[in-house]
Amino acid sequence: MSADLRKQLEQGAQALQLNLSAAQVDQLMAFLDLLQKWNKVYNLTAVRDPQEMMTHHLLDSLAAVPALRRHVQSLGKAAGERTAQLDVGSGGGLPGVVFAVCCPEVDIHCVDTVAKKAAFLQQAAVALKLTNLRGIHARVESLSGPYDIVSCRAFASLVDFTTWSRTAMAPHAVWLAMKGKHPQDEIDALGAGVQVFHVEPLTVPGLDAERCIVWMKPVTDTL
Ligand SMILES: C[S@@+](CC[C@H](N)C(=O)[O-])C[C@H]1O[C@@H](n2cnc3c(N)ncnc32)[C@H](O)[C@@H]1O
Percent of the chain's residues with pLDDT above 70: 98
Over the stretch 87-110, which tens digit does the pLDDT of each residue have?
A: 999 999 999 999 999 999 999 999
Amino acid 160 reads D
53-96 pLDDT tens trace: 999 999 999 999 999 999 999 999 998 899 999 999 999 999 99
Per-residue pLDDT at 168: 97
Going from the Cα of 150 to the center of ligand 1, the distance in angstroms, rounded, reads 14
Residue 145 has pLDDT above 90, yes or no: no
Write out residues with Cβ below 6 Å of ligand 1: 45, 88-92, 94, 111-114, 117, 139-141, 153-155, 164
Instruction: Grade residue 223 by pLDDT with cuts at 50, 70 and 90.
Output: low
Convert 154-190 into a string of H (helix), E (strand) and C (coil).
Answer: CCCCHHHHHHHHHHHEEEEEEEEEEECCCCHHHHHCC
Residue 30: which of 103, 91, 86, 97 has the closest Cα?
A: 97
Q: Give the CA distances from residue 91 to residues 32, 37, 70, 194, in Å, rounded to whole numbers and listed in that order.
A: 14, 15, 25, 25
Mean pLDDT calculated for residue range 161-168 = 97
Q: CA-CA distance, 161 to 197, in Å (whole number)?
A: 16
Confidence of residue 125 (pLDDT cuts 50, 70, 90): very high
Mutate to test the pocket of ligand 1, among 57, 90, 108 (most ligand atoms within 8 A of CB): 90
Cβ atoms 168, 145 nearer than 8 A: yes
Centre of ligand 1 from the C-alpha of residue 153, in Å = 8
Domains of the chain (ranges; CATH) run: 2-218 (3.40.50.150)
Query: Amino acid letter at 41?
Result: V
The one-character DSSP state at 114 is: S
- Between the CA of 87 and the centroid of ligand 1 the distance, in Å, is 10
Confidence of residue 19 (pLDDT cuts 50, 70, 90): very high
At residue 128 the predicted structure's pLDDT band, cuts being 50, 70 and 90, is: very high
Q: Identify which of 44, 47, 113, 142 to mutate to test ligand 1's pocket (most ligand atoms within 8 A of the CB).
A: 113
Please, which residues have CB within 8 angstroms of residue 172's CB and are 6 or more apart in sequence? Answer: 148
Q: How confident is the model at residue 46 (pLDDT cuts 50, 70, 90)?
A: confident
Q: Predicted confidence band at 49 (pLDDT cuts at 50, 70, 90)?
A: confident
Residue nearest to atom 9 of ligand 1 (CA): 94
Question: Is 89 annotated among the ligand-binding residues?
Answer: yes
Nearest ligand 1 atom to the CA of 112 is 22
Confidence (pLDDT) at 43: 83
Ligand 1 centroid to Cα of residue 91, in Å, is 5
| Percentage of residues of the chain with pLDDT beyond 90 | 89
Given the cut 0.90, state whether the ipTM is greater than it: yes
Average pLDDT value for the chain? 95
Q: What is the dihedral of CA 92, 166, 151, 158, to 10 degrees?
A: 90
Q: How far is the CA of 155 from the centre of ligand 1 (A)?
A: 5
Q: What is the pLDDT of residue 1?
A: 61
Query: Which residue, by CA, sits nearest to atom 11 of ligand 1?
Result: 89
Res 200: pLDDT: 98
Closest CA to 31 of 141, 153, 133, 156: 133
Residue 141, annotated ligand binder?
Answer: yes
